[in-house]
């Protein structure tokens, strides 16, 4: 679905992405991991078309990303940033309706009645009943992030890009959000690429992981192949133990104290 060939990206004299070659197949759930400054968000911005590489090319279904118009691209992919939606005064229902922009004509109207049923389904799926008329700024962080996800769902994309979507959420809402994304991905056979800060969450929900350091790919593969003490040490310069999750059978990290035992 997505092919990244020799992509390089610089800001001034600093090269942030260096020769990235990568393929994402339809239906994959990829997590991008790596330390701060490794190029994770920049790579996501290049995939979304927000930024253009200085070298190399990104193609979507064999067509250069740069050749897609704004609305055409918005019908194929959607992006959710780490801060989701700002605490603005728009009511929840209106925010969800904003996700239908790619399907509206120049007058802001959409033909057909399917959007109403779709939005009602999203409200039900994300447990937003009773919140539809409330302004966004009175909601909790977890509720706002669910609304942000609902707006993305309303776009009906084939590809979803997530930039550290659980950063500002507590543990309960982190799990809730990732479960919602995972169930949506399975139900619609979506392709998802997510920049992940929490390696344990990444191992639980992502099928494959891409590890970056200093703008280069260090490793890529399944969580079992990537979440190892050796690779974690090479990425983050920390020592860790890797244990298997008793229910999911994927690796989970336990950090080692420098003081020992």
* 248 lies in some domain: no
Cα distances from 76 to residues 4, 69, 190, 261, in angstroms, run: 17, 11, 11, 52
Give the per-residue pLDDT at 111.
66
The boundaries of the domain holding residue 76 are 2-231
**Residue 242 is assigned to a structural domain of this protein:** no
Q: What CATH number is attached to the domain comprising 227?
A: 3.40.50.300
> What backbone torsions phi and psi does residue 59 show, to the nearest 5 degrees?
-120, 145
Q: H-helix or E-strand containing 249?
A: none
Helix axes 141-154, 171-188, angle to 10 degrees: 10
Query: What are the Cα distances from residue 185, in Å, to 30, 150, 160, 180, 253?
Result: 11, 13, 9, 9, 25
pLDDT value, residue 71: 87
Q: How far apart are CA 11 and CA 228, in angstroms?
A: 32
Global pTM value = 0.92
pLDDT attached to residue 85: 78
SS3 assignment, position 158: coil
User: 49 lies in a domain?
Assistant: yes
Q: Is residue 180 part of a domain?
A: yes
Residue 117 included in any domain: yes
3-class secondary structure, 13: coil
Per-residue pLDDT of the chain (261 residues; tens, 9 = 90+): 999 999 999 999 899 999 999 999 999 999 999 999 999 999 999 999 999 999 999 999 999 999 999 889 999 999 998 766 777 889 999 999 999 988 887 666 776 667 889 999 999 999 999 999 999 989 988 888 899 999 999 999 999 999 998 888 899 989 999 999 999 999 999 999 999 999 999 999 999 999 999 999 999 999 999 999 999 999 999 999 999 999 999 999 999 887 654
Assess if residue 141 is contained within a domain. yes
Asked whether residue 192 is assigned to any structural domain, the reply reads yes
Domain count, the chain: 1
Residue 102 lies in a domain: yes
The pLDDT value given to residue 104 = 80
Structure confidence at residue 158 (pLDDT): 95
Run of H or E residues at 227: none
């Amino acid at each position: 679905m997505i092919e990244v060939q020799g992509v390089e990206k610089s800001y001034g004299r600093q090269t942030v992405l260096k020769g990235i070659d990568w393929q994402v197949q339809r239906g994959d759930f990829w997590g991008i991991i790596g330390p701060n400054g490794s190029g994770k968000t920049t790579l996501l911005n290049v995939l979304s078309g927000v930024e253009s590489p200085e070298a190399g090319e990104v193609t979507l279904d064999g067509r250069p990303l740069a050749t897609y118009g704004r609305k055409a691209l918005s019908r194929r992919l959607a992006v959710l940033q780490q801060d989701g939606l700002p605490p603005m005064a728009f009511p929840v229902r209106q925010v969800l309706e904003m996700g239908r922009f790619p399907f509206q004509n120049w007058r802001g109207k959409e033909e057909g009645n399917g959007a109403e049923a779709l939005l009602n389904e999203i409200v039900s799926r994300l447990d937003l009943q009773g919140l539809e008329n409330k302004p966004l700024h009175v909601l909790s962080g977890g509720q706002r992030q669910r609304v942000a996800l609902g707006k993305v769902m309303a776009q009906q994309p084939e590809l979803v890009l997530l930039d550290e979507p659980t950063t500002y959420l507590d543990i309960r809402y982190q799990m809730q959000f990732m479960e919602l994304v995972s169930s949506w991905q399975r139900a619609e056979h979506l392709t998802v690429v997510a920049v992940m800060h929490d390696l344990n969450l990444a191992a639980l929900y992502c099928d494959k992981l891409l590890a970056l350091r200093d703008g280069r790919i260090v490793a890529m593969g399944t969580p079992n192949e990537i979440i190892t003490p050796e690779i974690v040490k090479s990425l983050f310069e920390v020592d860790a133990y890797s244990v298997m999750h008793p229910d999911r059978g994927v690796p989970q990290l336990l950090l080692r104290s420098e003081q020992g035992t």
